[in-house]
Structure 1
């Protein structure tokens, strides 16, 4: 029998290892009460969503979608290797698991422990889904930039381990792919700096690196080419995600309007993080590392039912060949999480502009109650 900790147990571990407040960037400051309240709310919503999806888990339509996903991931893997000229190079795979402590354990190192080869069925490699379809909605952090560029390649001139990210969104209301939504993703660079914001130590309003938006296709899928994120004080390595519903695509290659129906953060296996952080340019970042267990937001996402660590494959035998990372995420397209997604700045023609109404502390505060 495998023991899996509850949400409260995971949070207790994080609280016991952390000071009273954790400060990454301004706005990522949490006390125990606020963390418990927001984690509880997120997991109630996610549990309801999970039950909605479970009812149609074995439907022919869902099975067909999963078969398409396996075939698509296999082809993406092969294409990425061809493009890098490493068709015949060895490669490594990370299998899935169910809970934060199992994946965050210091002894964990399954990256290369499975003997997969070209003859291995796609189901064995690409059929697993470590997010268990759902990831709880949680705070998006303080550096969301509104109206960012619609593009799939967000690297620009940033140096780091190449990462191809594939995300599939499923609407929990009908178990069908979430089409006609815009997916926003961003992360910091190898030394912990974000583009698009004017805060001290960040890239500045005129920068756009590692940020982009893509519309989902008929299978609810988006793909981005980025790099493996770096780290900064008080936070584990993570990738930000927001899903916009009802947005309008503009002629200048950005978007406007709509509601935020999902916001979350993906995290990465500790062994993979440690391996990458030992290489340049990541090793030049002198900011102390924060492990997954010490980070507040992994506690948001990880329970027995929800795994915030996406599946990945190293495309070749060397990190410079890059990673292929994928996850399936459930969302309710009727949800509105706008309160938890205030933006620090807006990208407009000619550059970025600070949001004069942005309050860093609002990002970390529970919504107002009425009555």
Structure 2
């Protein structure tokens, strides 16, 4: 099986510690244990999902998703005055390599007004499960509740819709506050300041929080992430439950129900990397197959790649992408090794947080002057 060969290769590559980017260190044996444990959890949750995925209520959720995605695509195209036809890509969803394989451009022959929207927007990825995955060393607390996180960063516009479903009921999980963060087109993160990534503690670009609606959906206006040494192209997501919303538009307290990353297939990444300013990035490109955590994320029981649509005939017109994420609503990842806090944004700016972990996670300790409020 192709997937097993990928695991074998990954295990061999983990014979020594892996440094994914400055500040992130992984113990090889710990990573192998995490891979085995998460695959077992994924299989168990997949069985739970299979038992409810054909329910009437779940089918109704998917029908609403089709209409919502179609409306979003129309609205964005009208707003940007895009006249050319959108392009949808279809993927096989069996193993890591097949996840990434783009069969063909479904719109190469051209969609018409008579093409059913269900043909274009019904895909919900292979199943609705995304196991836990390291948050990495660059998570920042105190970010603002906002949909548009671009702050003028150059790159391919990306409208990203994430839909959270309860793995036990296949129904939407509402009132989940979702943190998103990724690097910019040339591989730099905001909110931190370390050698090789001098975004700066006072910067907030490509970071923000949205709350899920009655259909479990949180949406962001961002850009397609760039790449940097040691990691495949990815976007970070972290979900909070039972939070307190502060008057300044930030959140406080609650539990962390899910930590994850989504990845992008190689054809899509390559198309983006040909455009400016991605093509000025001199850092080494890492494929999904060679990325430590991508291997963790992709198995037969789940799919780490969102469905996506070119909003026009050129990728620079922007992308609409969507993914369903299954979560255990009773979970709390706050004490997990996957959870790590690098910095906190406060009224007087950003501050570093001391982490006690070398495995890409661990609970952060806020500086002595830290408070729960931010600007």
| Higher RCO (CA 8 Å, separation ≥ 6 residues) | 1
1:191 is aligned, of 186, 193, 200, to: 186
Q: CA deviation at 1:135?
A: 1.3
Q: Contact between 2:90 and 2:103, CA under 8 Å: does it hold in 1? A: no
Indicate how the Cα distance of structure 1 residues 27 and 255 shifts in structure 2: closer, same or farther if over 3 A, else same: same
**Deviations along 1:173-199, whole A, 9 cap, x unmatched?**
332211111011100001111001122
Distance in 1 separating the partners of 2:257 and 2:99: 28
1:160-239 paired onto structure 2 within 5 Å: 160-200=155-195, 201-239=197-235
Distance in 1 separating the partners of 2:230 and 2:154: 23
Q: Contact between 1:46 and 1:137, CA under 8 Å: does it hold in 2? A: no
Indicate how the Cα distance of structure 1 residues 244 and 218 shifts in structure 2: closer, same or farther if over 3 A, else same: same
Q: What is the match of residue 369 of structure 2?
A: none
**Deviations along 1:256-309, whole A, 9 cap, x unmatched?**
111111111000010111111121101111011001110011101111221111
Q: What is the match of residue 358 of structure 2?
A: 361
Distance in 1 separating the partners of 2:186 and 2:357: 22
Structure 2 residue runs of 5 or longer lacking an equivalent are: 364-375
**Deviations along 1:56-111, whole A, 9 cap, x unmatched?**
1111111111100111111111111111101x312221113212112446xx5634
State TM-score, norm by structure 2: 0.90
2:358 match: secondary structure: helix
Distance in 1 separating the partners of 2:21 and 2:210: 26
Q: What is the match of residue 352 of structure 1?
A: 350
Distance in 2 separating the partners of 1:187 and 1:312: 18
Q: What is the match of residue 298 of structure 1?
A: 294
2:179 match: secondary structure: strand
Q: CA deviation at 1:337?
A: 1.3
Q: Contact between 2:246 and 2:252, CA under 8 Å: does it hold in 1? A: yes
Structure 1 residue runs of 5 or longer lacking an equivalent are: 367-371
Distance in 2 separating the partners of 1:19 and 1:129: 36
Distance in 2 separating the partners of 1:28 and 1:116: 45
**Deviations along 1:117-159, whole A, 9 cap, x unmatched?**
1322122111112252111111111100012111000000210
1:125 match: secondary structure: helix
Distance in 2 separating the partners of 1:31 and 1:11: 16
Confirm whether residue 145 of structure 1 aligns to residue 143 of structure 2.
no
Distance in 2 separating the partners of 1:268 and 1:116: 24
CA RMSD for the aligned pairs? 2.0
Distance in 1 separating the partners of 2:14 and 2:85: 40
Q: What is the match of residue 373 of structure 2?
A: none
**Deviations along 1:292-332, whole A, 9 cap, x unmatched?**
11001110111122111110000001122100000001001
Indicate how the Cα distance of structure 1 residues 131 and 225 shifts in structure 2: closer, same or farther if over 3 A, else same: farther
Q: What is the match of residue 371 of structure 2?
A: none
Confirm whether residue 121 of structure 1 aligns to residue 119 of structure 2.
no
1:262-273 paired onto structure 2 within 5 Å: 262-273=258-269
Shifted more, 337-346 versus 264-273: the winner is 337-346
Q: What is the match of residue 63 of structure 2?
A: 67
Q: What is the match of residue 369 of structure 1?
A: none
State TM-score, norm by structure 1: 0.91
Confirm whether residue 136 of structure 1 aligns to residue 131 of structure 2.
yes
Q: CA deviation at 1:170?
A: 0.3
Distance in 2 separating the partners of 1:191 and 1:290: 14
Aligned length: 358
Distance in 2 separating the partners of 1:318 and 1:103: 23
Q: CA deviation at 1:162?
A: 0.3
Q: What is the match of residue 57 of structure 1?
A: 53
Q: What is the match of residue 102 of structure 1?
A: 98
Q: Contact between 2:91 and 2:100, CA under 8 Å: does it hold in 1? A: no
Q: CA deviation at 1:17?
A: 6.1
Shifted more, 274-283 versus 118-127: the winner is 118-127
Q: What is the match of residue 151 of structure 2?
A: 156
